[in-house]
């Protein structure tokens, strides 16, 4: 995918620059089968009841909302006080604040989301165990999918739905108000902003 006025060049390398752009539809294309696959593996291979597996998946989705808030508040807005800190911050998240209308830099590139999947998945597998991990992680991954697609929609879709408009106002204040630059970190939900008093 080449640079355009709406999606400017970030890197000198044509390959790396092309890989820095991700169309929104890659998220459901990759992670909807992934989340369903994790869930069904747990149900079928470990013979879990559908009701209990759905309850554990819902818990995984809930855990994602906390991870979403935590990652956005800490990692994405962290700028180390080093020579390379500003560059790292810009590549990781600053680019999104700078070119917030860029339709190809709103969702996480598959290389980054696959790495996070392995890291979170390994930690959850060790903590939860080999049986309940599968529906839990299916719900967690589905939560990520909802987050990234919601993030794209908040920047590019025009809908009249009351919940959507509430989330859109919340997120755009984070982007465009100096008073809210260090607040309003939730994207798919405002829950944790209320809990941690960053609303």
At 107-164, the pLDDT tens digits run 888 988 999 999 999 999 999 999 999 999 999 999 999 999 999 999 999 989 999 9
Residue 52 has a pLDDT of 96
Residue 128 phi/psi, 5° resolution? -95, -30
Residues contacting residue 36 through CB under 8 Å, at least 6 positions apart: 138
> Apex CA 31: angle with CA 65 and CA 7, to 5°?
85
- The total of structural domains in the chain comes to 1
In a domain, 11, yes or no: no
Contact between 38 and 135 under an 8 Å Cβ cutoff? The reply is: yes
In a domain, 16, yes or no: no
In a domain, 56, yes or no: yes
In a domain, 2, yes or no: no
In a domain, 17, yes or no: no
Whether residue 1 is predicted with pLDDT greater than 90 in this model: the reply is: no
Write out the residue range of the structural domain in which residue 72 sits.
26-100+109-195
In a domain, 80, yes or no: yes
In a domain, 5, yes or no: no
| Position 65 confidence tier, pLDDT thresholds 50, 70, 90 | very high
Model pTM above 0.85? yes
| Position 36 confidence tier, pLDDT thresholds 50, 70, 90 | very high
Whether residue 81 is predicted with pLDDT greater than 90 in this model: the reply is: no
Least confident of 94-98, 169-173, 185-189: 94-98
């Amino acid at each position: 995918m080449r640079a355009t006025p709406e999606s400017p060049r970030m890197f000198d390398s044509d390959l790396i620059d092309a890989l820095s752009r991700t169309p929104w539809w890659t998220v459901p294309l990759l992670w909807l089968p992934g989340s369903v696959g994790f869930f069904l593996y747990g149900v079928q291979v470990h013979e879990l009841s559908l009701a209990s597996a759905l309850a554990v998946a819902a818990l995984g989705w809930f855990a994602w909302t906390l991870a979403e808030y935590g990652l956005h508040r800490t990692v994405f807005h962290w700028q180390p006080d080093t020579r390379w800190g500003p560059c790292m911050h810009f590549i990781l998240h600053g680019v999104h604040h700078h070119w917030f209308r860029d339709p190809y830099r709103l969702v996480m590139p598959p290389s980054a989301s696959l790495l996070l999947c392995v890291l979170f998945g390994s930690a959850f597998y060790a903590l939860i165990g080999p049986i309940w991990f599968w529906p839990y992680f299916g719900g967690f991954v589905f939560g990520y999918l909802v987050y990234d697609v919601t993030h794209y929609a908040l920047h590019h879709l025009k809908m009249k739905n009351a919940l959507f408009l509430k989330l859109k106002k919340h997120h755009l204040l984070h982007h465009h108000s100096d008073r809210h630059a260090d607040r309003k970190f939730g994207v798919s939900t405002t829950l944790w902003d209320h809990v941690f008093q960053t609303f």
